[in-house]
Structure 1
Amino acid sequence: MSTTRTSSATSATAAASPDRTARSSRTARPTPRRLLAALALTPLLTACFAPSSEGGSDAEGGAGSGGRLRVALAVPPVQALSPYSNDATVLSKLSVAEGLTALDEDGVAAPALAKSWAQKNATTWTFELRKATFQDGTDVTAESVVNALDKAGAAETKPRVLSDVTLTAKADDADTVTLTTKTADPVLPLRLASPALGILSPKAYAKDGTVSPVGTGTGPFEIRKLTGKSKATLDRFDGYWGGKAKASGIDVTWIADGTARANALRGGDVDIAEWIPTAQAELLDQDTRREVPSVRTDSLVLNTRSGIFADASLRSAAREAVDGSALVDSVFGGYADPAEGLFGPAVPWAADSRVQVSGRASAAATADVKAKTKGKTLRLATYTNRAELPEAATVLQQQLEKAGFTVKQDVREYTQMEADLLAGKYDALVFSRVTLLDTGDAVAYLASDYMSDGVYNIAGLKDSAVDKAVEAAGEEGDTEQRRTKIMRAEAEILRTDAVVPLVHEKVVQGIGTDVEGVLLDPRERSLVDADTHLK
């Protein structure tokens, strides 16, 4: 049986799969990966953190001697693996690019390209860089870090992680960067761990604003070739500061169809297949499937800016009509929990801090729904990249029609519909969302998806009470108080019925029996690293 490692923010994750041996995803790299200290979310933090050594060697377990890994990923690239799109997580999953910081197994900021940092005051932080080299052979310097962060802040489509902060970077000397925020940002080290803020070499940034990670990252694996939206070839980067990877490279294939991904694993065509559909999970051998509690919540997102659901009473009627618990067994085969809110069991503090929702609009009765929507069709969208979502949409369509709506589905690959979703061309979306992806802190997700100026506000929500609640959470530096305010913001968002949480997913990853060291990450930002290899 393969040995896998868990990157987790919860104790529950350690028991995600009873038939595997769990090791920390931050302990097996050639360099020490467990922190010497943890970064607390306090506004006056002054401590610095550093790993105990700079790198490893091939002497550890024969590192650097393995063969190539074959990996099947689910969502094809949207923008040629630009870090400013959802493609950023691919760069993280495959250990191509790194930020100044990373998240450890507890969701705490850990050293990455920055070996240490200190907070000077509420808005100023200083980061000391480790000695590292870009995959094009140039050195990582303070100037190159400033360049990368400046480019991210000036991007035409700003990364979601920067949606609620104004960041200024300055090179103090060759190895020291000072970052200043317009207002206090107590979670800045967490923010810098976002895959969207990976540091690439200056050659990655073209004058036309495009960004290419091909041969420009700092991680243990270097992209050598990207073939459209179907394949990528990665080789081991022997100049990696953390020591040579155990695998010699990675051959990536994007397979949008979940059944095809499962078949590729069963047939021996790939060694790792992510996001195995629940209908296929039981068809895999028990020793090739790994169940991972996920911070992913599936919801029905309603378009509040135009169309049918601009009417709050119709949104409330849709919320009352929808029963997410019906999806747990019928669609997800038991690999999900009924949703209690935006945050589920993989975010254990949420349940203890949840705030009762009040002030919702009265729901339109069935007769009123039919009268208000007469001659109008509810355009229900979802995407094929996750096999369960079209099935869920069919169940939800039946529930909504019973409540008086006339429903028509539009089901396509996500990359084909993202622009239309953001433009508000649908009434509702069956949506699967990782709630702690960008920073490991929920505020960035709430800000990007539900604030009036959010860059990923598919619901088109503009609500002053929501904006104030999210802003209050973002300004809070005390950990417990921050979480309390996050849950108050969740209640304000749910009050609007702009989103109806359905289920909290459990992810099934397919891993061949001859593979060791795969990262099982509830945040879905890690998969393969320097320690992942074939036996």
Structure 2
Amino acid sequence: MRHRITLIAACALLLTGCFAQSAEEPSGGRIKLAMLQPPRSGLTPFSDDAFKLSRWSTAETLVTLDADGNARPGLATGWRRISDHAWEFTVRPGVTFHDGTALTAAAVTNTLTRATAATPKPRILDGVELTAETAGDTVIVTTATPDPLVPQRLSSPQLAILAASAYRADGKVDPVGTGTGPFELVAVNGTTTATLDRYDGYWGEKAAAEGIDVSFVPDGTARAAAIRGGEAHIAEAVPVSQAALLDPATISEVPMPRTNTLYLNTEAGPFRDQALRAAAREAIDADEIVRSVYEGRADVAEGLLGPALPWAAAGRTPLTGRTEPADPNGTAITLATFSDRAELPEVASVLQQQLEDAGFTVTQVVREYAHIEEDALAGRFDAFILSRATVLDSGDPAAYLQSDFTCAGSFNIAQLCDGGVDAAVRTAAGTEAGDGRRAAILAAEAAVLRTDAAIPMLHERVIQGDATSVVGSAKDPRERTLITSATRLR
């Protein structure tokens, strides 16, 4: 009978009650995992819950990404572009879904077609018109406009391929027993627990562990304590404030593609003046923020794109042509951020002091994200601190640059509308994947930085807790993988 994790309501207070058995006791090769967020959408892959299915290695995609964001084979063994608008993908033979049915081109077409009709549509398909049709053992994927990133798009966990039995008549998707990965999802207990068993019919390397017992523990202190007390083998997203309390041997830090940035309102208020934006840029001491708020567990930003993208630092050249700063001379500004990420209010306090030392007069506003996003996007603040993912679901930064910094960008908190920036981002978005595209992305980054509309301060890290008995857990900057076929207990 499977061992199951029971999460009690008082978990955050009674930490030893989070798990029914100590992780130091014999576990039969089952890995106990404490996760940050419970499912929000019933584990449908068309939502952000898809990343849970991916991190448990139960649902797989046609394409995977390497460390540089290059497309690699997954459930597709290969692909080719057959026209400006169309790509042909060859489906891997010999793969079975967890319900015993075979992976076929028709099954892939079914998943992709249902994804395009989902409400809401998967984020990776936002603004993309895509169709899929079966052609023998291949699938033809066609887009309304030429898209050089189709393979990378199909790497998104939101487009994981599930068996036909996963898709219900009411439009809901049930991933239990319908994936292709080395672990089969066999039970979900609402927002409390999930259970996965090794799938012995897996097409690739058989899982070393017997299974995964997942517990959803939103409280960061409780997750860290579960590692410290031996109630969990792996805990994701350990808070910075808790990391120092754990045995260093149980902590790993990986740079993640997330940048803590100060966005300045270029359309209204004092920061319409680029010389004042330059003054804000010069006032910021990112080293102090990393040292005092993040306890050294972050990286000072050299640009919008950080060390999680090694090619960015390697290809970046010194920035020239920057505006000289003006004297703030008491200029009054409103600095805002949100409280959902524990570090951001602390960053705001340090930043307020730095800006006041430089001559600004600062009023600070902090609210929950749900209550501040609308005002931020409407340009109602002079400055806004945001922790922002810089590679979205395709693993490519061009989408982030487009949404945050172009005239028509849907997440343009800086209200930036600059012809040079728009042209640079358009060039990057239209360039084929590879070195040329990466160079164009860095040129677009430089164009944004020259405007001083956004001042990157630091790049965050993934902090993960692993018991010393764990071998082979993934440390993934994109947070797509966590437990793989190779993950096991000593």
Q: What is the TM-score of this pair, normalised by structure 1?
A: 0.75
Q: Does 1:473 align with 2:428?
A: yes
Partner of 1:194: 156
- Trace 1:324-343 onto structure 2 (pairs within 5 A): 324-343=286-305
Task: Name 2:116's counterpart in structure 1.
Answer: 153
Give the letter aligned to residue 243 of structure 2.
A
Partner of 2:195: 233
Q: Is the 2:103–2:163 contact (alpha carbons within 8 Å) kept by the matching residues of 1?
A: yes
Residue type of the alignment partner of 1:118: R
Paired residue secondary structure (1:245): coil
Render the CA deviation track for 1:306-335: whole Å, top value 9, x for unaligned: x86885667666545443222121122222
The residue aligned with 1:134 is 97
What letter is aligned with 2:441?
A: I
Give the 3 Å change call, closer, same or farther, for CA 358–88 of structure 1 in structure 2. farther
Alignment of 1:66-215 (within 5 A): 67-105=29-67, 107-130=69-92, 131-163=94-126, 165-173=128-136, 175-206=137-168, 210-215=172-177
Q: Is the 8 A contact 1:277 1:388 kept in 2?
A: no
CA contact (8 A) 1:322 1:396 kept: yes
Aligned to 1:441: 396
Say if 1:379 and 1:426, in contact at 8 Å, map to a contact too: no
Which residue of structure 2 lines up, in the alignment, with residue 48 of structure 1? none
Q: Helix, strand or coil: the match of 2:101?
A: coil
Q: Does 1:487 align with 2:442?
A: yes
**Shift in CA distance, 429/77, structure 1 to aligned 2, threshold 3 Å:** farther
CA offset digits 1:148-173 (Å, max 9, x no partner) = 22333344444443346443211112
Equivalent position SS for 2:238:
coil
Separation in 2, partners of 1:490, 1:419: 24
Q: Aligned partners of 1:452, 1:202: CA distance in 2, in Å?
A: 41
Give 3-state SS (helix, strand or coil) of 1:389's partner.
helix
Give CA deviations for 1:350-400 in whole Å, capped at 9, x if unaligned: 233346365769768243x32xx5xxx54421423xx43343233234345
Call closer, same or farther: CA 1:391–1:252 in 2, change over 3 Å.
Answer: farther
Task: Find the counterpart in structure 2 of residue 504 from structure 1.
Answer: 459
Alpha-carbon separation, structure 2, partners of 1:205 and 1:304: 46
Among 206, 213, 216, the residue aligned to 1:254:
216
Match in the other structure for 2:362: 405
State the superposition RMSD in angstroms: 3.4
**Structure 1 pair 362/183, CA: closer, same or farther in 2 (3 Å)?**
farther
Asked if structure 1 preserves the Cα contact closer than 8 Å seen for 2:183 and 2:198, the reply is yes
Residues 475-504 of structure 1, C-alpha deviation per residue, up to 9 Å, x if partnerless?
112633212210121123334544321112
Match of 2:13 in 1: none
Check 1:356–1:515 CA distance in 2 against 1; reply closer, same or farther (3 A cut).
same
Q: 1:381 and 1:246, CA in 2 relative to 1: closer, same or farther beyond 3 A? A: same
Structure 1 distance, partners of 2:265, 2:119, is 24
Relative to structure 1, the CA distance from residue 468 to residue 231 in structure 2 (aligned partners, 3 Å threshold; closer, same or farther) is farther
Evaluate the alpha carbon distance shift between residue 301 and residue 231 of structure 1 in structure 2; reply closer, same or farther with a 3 A threshold.
Answer: farther
Residues 309 and 78 of structure 1: CA distance in aligned 2, closer, same or farther (over 3 Å): farther
Q: Cα distance 1:76–1:404, how it changes in 2: closer, same or farther (>3 A)?
A: farther
| Amino acid paired to 2:338 | A
Q: Secondary structure at the match of 1:439?
A: coil
Change in CA separation of 1:366 and 1:227 when aligned onto 2, cut-off 3 Å: farther
Unaligned 5+ segments in structure 2 are 1-26
1:264 maps to 2:226: yes
Q: Which residue of 2 aligns with 1:380?
A: 337
Q: Using the TM superposition, name which of 489-498 and 424-433 deviates more.
A: 424-433
Structure 2 counterparts to residues 515-526 of structure 1, below 5 A: 515-526=470-481
Shift of 1:192: 1.6
Pick from 285, 292, 295: which aligns with 2:247?
285
Quote how far apart the aligned CAs of 1:273 are: 1.3
User: What are the Cα deviations for residues 407-447 of structure 1, in whole angstroms up to 9, with x where unaligned?
Assistant: 1212x4x6x56975886597465433342352232223323
- Bigger relative contact order (CA 8 A; separation at least 6): 1
1:279-316 alpha-carbon deviations (Å, 9 max, x no partner): 332332232122323333222345678x8688566766
1:217 equivalent in structure 2: 179
Separation of aligned partners in 2, 1:357 and 1:85:
41
| Alignment-derived partner of residue 311 in structure 2 | 349
The TM-score, its normalising length taken from structure 2, stands at: 0.81
Which residue does 2:19 correspond to in 1? none
Distance in 1 (alpha carbons) for counterparts of 2:67 and 2:487: 17
Output the CA distance in 2 between the equivalents of 1:212 and 1:418: 34
Query: 1:336 Cα deviation (Å)?
Result: 2.0
The alpha-carbon distance between structure 1 residues 98 and 418, as it changes in their structure 2 partners (threshold 3 A), is farther
Q: Who is 2:8 aligned against?
A: none
Q: Tell me by how many angstroms 1:518 deviates.
A: 0.4
The equivalent residue for 1:275 is 237
Moved more, 487-496 or 395-404: 395-404
Distance 1:357 1:426, change over 3 A: farther
Greater CA drift, 84-93 or 519-528: 84-93
Distance 2:117 2:422 in 1: 23
Deviation at 1:463, TM superposition (A): 4.9
Structure 1: runs of 5 or more not aligned: 1-64
The corresponding residue for 2:15 is: none
Output the CA distance in 1 between the equivalents of 2:226 and 2:58: 24
Q: CA deviation at 1:113?
A: 1.0
**Aligned equivalents of 2:144 and 2:318: distance in 1?**
30
Native 8 Å contact 1:99 1:194 kept in 2: yes
Q: Which residue of 2 aligns with 1:40?
A: none
Equivalent residue for 2:14? none
- Distance in 2, Cα, partners of 1:160 & 1:182: 17
